[in-house]
Amino acid sequence: MTEETPGFDEKPDVPSGATPEDAEPKAASPSTGEGAAPAGDASLQIAGLTAQLDQVRKALEERTADLQRLQAEFQNYRRRVERDRITVKEIAVANLLSELLPVLDDIGRAREHGEFVGGFKSVGESLETVAAKMGLQQFGKEGEPFDPTIHEALMHSYAPDVTETTCVAILQPGYRFGERTIRPARVAVAEPQPGAQPVKAEDAEAEDEKDNGPEEG
């Protein structure tokens, strides 16, 4: 006696009261999207990702602004340090040159008295050359207008041939280093005579032409 194996054409058991169509499996409807996320959930996910992207973009902009501010502060710090370094160097050189001024004064007096000769002349000229290379400049000339910012008046007088306070003698030359005045020029000044009327250049020329004109016979 052999055991019969049910064939493929056998129908599955159908519960009582159910139709054969109910027993057949139903395909998922594309419209319902069974097994997939609903459309509303996808929109919420996109909105969440967009919000996160905006937050990341905002944080990146803030970090970029911080970096730019730090870079600007660093550049200002470098410029300030370089400016201070140059200032300190100028002050040191100016102090050194100030110590050399008495020696330069002795050299100048020796030159005026004809004593600037021999080995002393060679050493003196070398010292003047080095001082000039370091930026030392001498100023002060006779006949230039008196300027209290760069001149120091040690002697005062009146003169009929000046129209303003004028340096008539340089007692000690002045020295400057760059825009810094190391020592003002010490001078003798002359002022116009009290009550004298200043003579204009045009009037002086006209007077000269009148005096030099042809004589009538």
Tens-of-pLDDT digits for all 217 residues of the chain?
445 555 445 555 555 555 545 545 454 444 444 555 566 788 888 888 888 888 999 999 999 999 999 999 999 999 999 999 999 999 999 999 999 999 999 999 999 999 989 989 999 999 999 999 999 999 999 999 999 999 999 999 999 889 999 999 999 999 999 889 999 999 999 999 886 655 554 554 555 555 555 444 3
**Closest residue by Cα to residue 112 from 124, 100, 98:** 124
CB contact at 8 A, 95 and 180: no
Which residue type occupies 139?
Answer: F
Give counts: helices (H), strands (E), the chain: 4, 6
The distance from CA 160 to its chain's CA centroid, rounded to whole angstroms, is 50
d(CA 19, CA 167) in angstroms, rounded, equals 133
Which of 4-40 are b and which e, b meaning 16 or more Cβ less than 10 Å from the residue's Cβ? eeeeeeeeeeeeeeeeeeeeeeeeeeeeeeeeeeeee
Question: What is the distance between the alpha carbons of residues 140 and 158, in angstroms, rounded to a whole number?
Answer: 20
pLDDT for residue 78: 93
Q: Which CATH superfamily is domain 136-199 in?
A: Head domain of nucleotide exchange factor GrpE (2.30.22.10)
> What is the structure's pLDDT at 1?
45
The domain ranges of the chain are 45-134, 136-199
